[in-house]
Amino acid sequence: MRNAALMLGIIAGLIGLLVGFFSYGYTVFIDHFGERGDLLTQVDNVALIRGAALIAPILAIAGGGMARSQNRIGGGLMLISAAGMYWAFGFGVFTMFPIAMAGLGGLFALLASQPDTA
């Protein structure tokens, strides 16, 4: 289960990096070029989007990397990452996989009671 948590956390973090990159870029684009009617509008909380775009994927990758040696800390980091992505970006077509993978990886890491056997 720890190996599965490791893989899920790293994959969730990499997909979350893409979501975060484009979310951060969108806020910068709107700041630079301005809003365009109803099509392109600025988000309500820019600081939340930018902070979560940076921190949430890093927590998922770090939690996945720690899942084998420090399963409780790694699992907690992945669950915090999943909650952060859900809070900042919501649950949609581009966020459902990183949120689900980070959440499942966090549960796997927390439920792993002993080291994986070879």
Between 62 and 116, residue with greater pLDDT: 62
Average pLDDT of the segment spanning 91-109 = 96
pLDDT of residue 113: 73
pLDDT of residue 34: 86
- According to DSSP, residue 115 is labeled P
Residue 116 located in a structural domain: no
- Number of domains composing the chain: 1
CA 64, CA 93: separation in Å to the nearest integer?
23
Residue 84 located in a structural domain: yes
Residue 118 located in a structural domain: no
Residue 117 located in a structural domain: no
* pLDDT grade for 116, boundaries at 50, 70 and 90: low
Model-level pTM greater than 0.95?
no
Residue 102 located in a structural domain: yes
Residue 57 located in a structural domain: yes
Residue 41 located in a structural domain: yes
Range of the domain at 50: 2-111
pLDDT of residue 51: 95
| pLDDT tens readout for residues 2-57 | 899 999 999 999 999 999 999 999 999 999 998 888 888 998 999 999 999 999 99
- According to DSSP, residue 93 is labeled T
Residue 96 located in a structural domain: yes
pLDDT of residue 115: 64
pLDDT of residue 38: 84
CA 54, CA 36: separation in Å to the nearest integer?
26
SS3 sequence, 36-82?
A: ECCCECCCCCHHHHHHHHHHHHHHHHHHHHHCCCCHHHHHHHHHHHH
